Structure 1
Amino acid sequence: MNGLKGKALFSMSLAVTLSACDMAPKYVRPELPVPVASPDGAAYPAAGSQETMVPADTAWRDFFVDPRLVRVIGTTLANNRDLRIALANVEQARAQFKVRRADILPTVGLNGSATYQDTPFVQQQGAGAGGSGRTDIYSASVGISAWEIDLFGRVRNLTKAAQEQYFASIENRNAAQTALIAEVASAWMIMAADQERLRIARDLEGVFGKTFELTKSRFAKGIASELEVRQAQTSYDQARADIAQATTLVAQDQNALNLLAGTTIGVDDLPEAMPQGDVVLGNLPDDLPSSLLLRRPDIAAAEHQLRGANANIGAARAAFFPTISLTAAFGTMSLGLSNLFKSGSDYWSVAPSASVPIFDFGRNQGNLRYARATYDAMLATYEKSVQTGFREVADALARRGTMTEQLNAQTSLRDSARVAYTLSEARFRAGIDGFLATLDAQRALYAAEQSLLATRLARTANMIELYRAMGGGLQ
């Protein structure tokens, strides 16, 4: 009967805890401190009628269409050390959350003890000599010790704060992966551009070298001046210098890719030139509702931090109220080991205790102020994350809006410079023009080739950045 009473008391205490009040303020998601829609203007693309994808719903394996780049990204995600650190941080936060969550329910322990006691005693006068009495006491019990009954939500709010920290660590890991994917793709494309730059320099070295040899031959015959020879040599030497520089850059690009990947990338997966086609999908949206920014991992992490700070306010408030703890045990006790579990040997004990703060010299008030200040800081961090995300998307859209026109113009400029050089060299060989016009045409062609290459790289980099800024895909 006594055991039933103890169990009933335990159950009632548990029910009270689970239905306790919550001192945390009701969380309301802050209004987004940015315009509802993306900016518009001359620099931004007009909304198209074609179907577009949502970056956060598009896996990176689908967004990147070059199989070599896909393999490099997959290798990187499996071996990158920074990503492993982020994953370890997630495991740490999850373990801390489990530890904090365990405080909600009592820790049940099993105890057993044996006491052997020999007590001397003195017989009454005339009854004989004194002696001693041997007493053996055995007990076994199961119970809880100093379990806090969470009437005011202190433990539950601390648990919620730990849970939000765990969720934030997951989002931080996702943000690290999204950024890493974009960084690897950009590094791969930079290497492709440097390989293309090396090819252009080698091609023009051959062309300029022939012109240089022709000019020297004409100078030997007295047809050309030494000035023309030196002018021809400048273009040739510039191409030679650019070959050396591009060769170094390609080697450094490969080292950078190997560092990101955490291993050595196979030669078959490295770009040998700038791909002729697109390496990414082109149907990214031309605008973005601000609400979609909430799907960015870094912004989601900032909101989890904000929710955790809100829960910490509840824990700080609960510290002003009494703390009620419960110690209880249910077991059996007997004077002999063989009688330990027989009928009539069971016992129970329940010892509730309460602690009421009276004078803490401002400790609880200081903790509450700290919790509120932390919330304000997390709120500002969250709003700054939203504003930063909006700016990154707006910048990427502004770049995208003018990129097509710039690429078309650079392509036309390169084609015109190539024709102009061909005509100028023919006139020089025919003796119609001096070499100065040919030199200008050489330099214009070289600059046009480099500018077109830079524009092609910028276009792909813009698509990668826009995909990342809009949330990216994790699969």
Structure 2
Amino acid sequence: MAFLPHPPGRHFRGPRVAVVAALLVLCGCAPPVRPPAFVPRDEVPLAGLPTGKAGWPAPEWWRRFHDEQLDGIVARAMRGSPNMEQAEARYRAALRAVDTAKAELNPQVRGLVNGGHGYSDVDVRGEVPGAPGNAQGFQLNPGHSWSNSGVAGALATWDLDLWGKQKDAVAAAVGQARAAEAERASAAASLQYNVVNTYFDWQAQQARLDVARHAARNAEEYRELVALRVHSGLDDPTALDQADARLAQLRRSVAQLEGAARLDLAQLAALAGVSPDDLGTLKPSPLPAADTHLPSDARLGLLARRPDIAAARWQIEASAKNIDQARKAYYPDVSLTALGAFLRTYPDLGSGTRTDLTLGNVGASVQLPIFSGGRLRAQYEGAQAQLDSAVAQYDAAVVQAAGEIAQGVATLQTLDDQRVQVDRQYDATAAQKAKAADRRSKGLIDDRTWLDADMQLDQQRDARLQLASQMLSANLSLIHALGGGYHADDLPDLPAAKAGEDATR
């Protein structure tokens, strides 16, 4: 029988096909891509809330109050707040994690240098085989010797990352870093809101203190007049008791407002990371008017305006990349290696004997999982659970933002309705005081009636100041709920969640 010669290289085709087929089979064991279990919200539920032509808060929105004293406190807080230092440290740590992940894409070379000095003393004893009873013993003792040896080598490795597993790790680290950046912005927005809100609360306490002290002085004069009339027998002594109680109540109000102002200063100092004395002497100023309008595109625009929502969005992106990395762990790892080494040995010092050895090797290696005992599956399912958790946290942040805005708008509307009635009550009380002053000038009434009317007007002044402070605080809270001037223009896309739609029904 004649045998035909095989074409060159044909005898390698079978093993090659088998290897490729095995790789395809093993790669096919990777789990399929699965959407998240929950539906990410693509808009904020704000339907039904009134909107207007008001714009979004500016990055430094507190500057619209034109208060240099406030600007200085905010700047100091941004420099010295421990919360900002913690947020900055977390962001820098996340950036270093990105650098670490990127470094894994680069080849690396490791070197080895080793040297040694040895001593040997050989003594061999034995018997030469022979006939029974005729064996002869022998002894070899070449003596002792000293030796030196040294080796230097280098090993280069490079993971080719053919499937992009390490690139997914880099993308996940970038997502975590962007989330940390947004969390830093969230910490800054919260700090700015707390500083401005506390500052204006202190201003409100100062304005109310002026009114309370004026009312207390009127109560003192009123009490003196009543005491004169009681001592003259014109009034019942109970009138003096009532005047004393009124004066004590007003003095108590003064003490409460002074204590509240001191607490505001202590809180401002804590927010700025300084002592109350370092704040210096603050000057009182009138409270600014509150703005009660919403931007017209709040439902869609808020997703890019809230730093906590942006942070949750980047957490979703990082979790999605972790899933891609977990899937590609089923694929084989292909890497290149190169080894070079040089060995020199002096086995017997002084004899002139020397041994040199040079080694070199370049090649590729393929590592693939065959049996992992469920580890790869567990890693993939863990990454999928992290994605579901990130989507749930994102939805919670969106709903919470909507709730904060709805509550802020409702609070402002309620306070604005109250303001109309408070203003009417103030006008009516002011008219009563004016009439009392006219009758007093004509000698128809004494000073007690006029002082009583003035103290009633002080009560209405205090009510207006309280309402103005509440409206301003609600307005500041709404500015914070609208993102406090934050804006992200490069948010990642939300993952598709067709399966999640069925799961949430």
| TM-score normalised by the chain length of structure 1 | 0.77
Residues 420, 384 of structure 1: CA spacing in aligned structure 2 closer, same or farther, 3 A cutoff?
same
Q: Could you tell me how far apart the structure 2 residues matched to 1:82 and 1:89 are?
A: 11
Separation in structure 1 between the aligned mates of residue 430 and residue 187 of structure 2, nearest angstrom = 44
Would you say the 8 A contact 1:27–1:307 is kept in 2?
no
Distance in 1 between the 2:76 and 2:383 partners?
Answer: 43
- Alignment correspondent of 2:48: 40
Determine the structure 1 residue equivalent to 2:104.
103
User: How far apart, CA to CA, are the structure 2 residues paired with 1:90 and 1:398?
Assistant: 36
CA deviations 1:392-451 (Å, max 9, x no partner) are 223323334454454344233223224435656887997879989986x57754542332
In 2, Cα distance between equivalents of 1:76 and 1:268: 11
Q: Tell me, what secondary structure is at the counterpart of 2:110?
A: strand
Question: Where does residue 500 of structure 2 map in the other structure?
Answer: none
1:65 is aligned with what amino acid? H
Q: Which amino acid aligns with 1:69?
A: L
The total of aligned residue pairs comes to 431
Equivalent of 1:373, from 382, 385, 391? 385
Aligned-partner residue type, residue 52 of structure 2: A
Corresponding position of 1:78: 79
Deviations for 1:191-250, whole angstroms, at most 9, x for unmatched residues?
Answer: 111122222111100111111111111112222222222222222111111111122222
Q: Which residue number corresponds to residue 259 of structure 1?
A: 270
1:352 is paired with a residue whose SS is: strand
**What amino acid maps onto 2:251 in structure 1?**
R
Measure the CA separation in 1 of the matches of 2:475 and 2:402: 16
CA 1:78–1:25: 2 relative to 1, 3 Å: farther
- Does the aligned pair in 1 maintain the 2:168–2:325 contact within 8 Å? yes
Which range is displaced more, 183-192 or 159-168? 159-168
- Give the alignment partner of residue 153 of structure 1, picking from 159, 164, 182: 164
The CA deviation string for residues 223-278 of structure 1, in whole angstroms up to 9 with x for no partner, is 222222222222211111111112222222111111111113568865443x3252
1:104: Cα distance to partner?
1.8
Consecutive unaligned residues in structure 2, runs of 5 or more: 1-26, 123-140, 347-356, 488-505
Say which of 295, 299, 316 aligns to 1:290. 299
Distance 2:327 2:279 in 1: 62
Deviations 1:445-472 (A, max 9, x none): 4542332111111222223222222222
Quick check: 1:65–1:279 contact (8 Å CA) kept in 2? no
Within the alignment, does 1:461 sit opposite 2:473 as a pair? yes
Read off the aligned partner of 1:315 and give its amino acid letter: Q
Question: Which residue does the alignment assign to 2:195?
Answer: 184
1:23 and 1:77 map into 2 onto residues whose CA distance is 47
Q: 1:265 to 1:284 in 2, by over 3 A?
A: farther
> Hey, what does 1:359 align to over in structure 2?
371
- Cα distance, 1:309 vs. partner? 0.8
Letter aligned with residue 236 of structure 2: S
1:167/1:267 CA distance change after superposition, 3 Å: closer
Counterpart-to-counterpart distance in 2, 1:135 and 1:279: 92
CA distance in 2, matches of 1:108, 1:54: 53
* One-letter amino acid of the structure 1 residue matched with residue 96 of structure 2: A
Unaligned runs of 5+ in 1: 1-19, 122-128, 337-344
CA distance in 2, matches of 1:292, 1:269: 40
C-alpha distance in 2 between matches for 1:136 and 1:266? 73
Which of 312, 316, 322 aligns to 2:326? It is 316
Q: Name the CA shift for 1:82/1:361 in 2 (closer, same or farther; >3 Å).
A: same
Report whether the alignment pairs 1:304 with 2:292: no
Question: CA shift at 1:354, angstroms?
Answer: 3.3
Task: State how far apart, in whole Å, the 2-side matches of 1:352 and 1:372 are.
Answer: 33
Structure-1 residue corresponding to 2:407: 395
Alignment partner, residue 156 of structure 2:
144
Residues 53 and 422 of structure 1: CA distance in aligned 2, closer, same or farther (over 3 Å):
same
For residues 396-475 of structure 1, the aligned pairs below 5 Å read 396-421=408-433, 423=435, 444-473=456-485
Whole-angstrom CA distance in 2 between matches of 1:96 and 1:154: 16
Q: CA RMSD, aligned part only?
A: 4.0
Output the TM-score relative to the length of structure 2.
0.72
Q: C-alpha separation between the residues in 2 aligned to 1:258 and 1:25? A: 52
Following superposition, the deviation at residue 83 of structure 1 comes to 0.9
Deviation larger for 378-387 or 230-239: 230-239
SS state of the match for residue 354, structure 1?
strand
**Counterpart secondary structure, 2:156:** strand
CA–CA distance in 1 between the matches of 2:257 and 2:63? 31
Give per-residue Cα distances to partners, 1:318-339, cap 9 Å, x unaligned.
2223334443235777899xxx
Distance 1:254 1:31, change over 3 A: closer
CA distances 1:10-43 after superposition (whole Å, capped 9, x unpaired):
xxxxxxxxxx9999959999442534xx4436xx
TM superposition shift of 1:377: 0.8
| Secondary structure in 2 matching 1:108 | strand
Identity among equivalent positions (%) equals 23
Distance 1:23 1:366, change over 3 A: closer
Amino acid at match of 1:172: E
